[in-house]
A = this chain, B = another copy of it.
Amino acid sequence: MVTRQRGRPRSFDRLTALEQATMAFWEHGYETTSVSDLTRAMGISAPSLYAAFGDKKTLFEEVVEAYAVSYGAYGGRALEEERSAREAIGRMLREAATLFTEPGHPRGCLMISAATNCSTPEVEEALRVRRNANLATFEARIRRDVESGELPPDVDARALARFSGAVLQGLSQQARDGATAEELTAVAETAMGAWPPAAAQAALREEDRGTPAEVREASGKPPETPAKTPETPAGRGA
């Protein structure tokens, strides 16, 4: 199966070259990164690039996919591993604040910024589709918590999901504009202040009444104070 290749062996490591292409596209975007930039960053010549990765667009698609399952996987992990939508998205935003400013790679998020102002419609569209798919994932996760009672029934899952996506994109742009990890973490904490409190605890406290939905309107909108979501020990920097 792993039969030895027949001709001259490749003189560079394909995965390493892909990673170097990722850094270049991440830093400068699809359009602004020329094939010449790529060959310089990857340490190979143009014919080698074309032989190994197809054309520039195909290489970018492979870069995006590799990014999505490595650097970009934190969101999916948070959604899988956290108990609630609130905890998941809160963790995602906080991790984004760190990741977007981390040394060792470009700032911000490749999937958010790399195809803006791109004259190749398919490329721009491909990332847009991924972003909107993420929004749909957020929305589904939030809706699950609304239906389970973890979140109040009047929560607009679609709006809250889109808000979360907007904050994520804002974090990416701010990171590229020079914000520090601490500043972005404070933004993430502030954003989580817009979430309704976990309804489950309120329901637990009033479960004897049996009408958990109606109590909201009598109690007024919950206080906006940090309201200690136990998973955020440092009560939102804000």
Contact = CB atoms under 8 A, between A and B. Distances in A.
A32 B119 contact: yes
A136 to B, nearest CB: 12
A223 interface: yes
A149 interface: no
Given A113-B116, A186-B156, A166 B173 contact: yes
| A interface residue count range (under 10 / 10 to 19 / 20 to 34 / 35 or more) | 35 or more
Contact of A128 (B158, B178, B225): B178
Interface in A128-145: 128, 131-132
A210 interface: no
Contacts of A131: 177
Interface string A224-238: 110000000000011
Interface of A: 28-32, 112-114, 116-119, 128, 131-132, 155-156, 158-160, 162-163, 165-171, 173-174, 176-179, 183-184, 186-187, 189-197, 216-225, 237-238
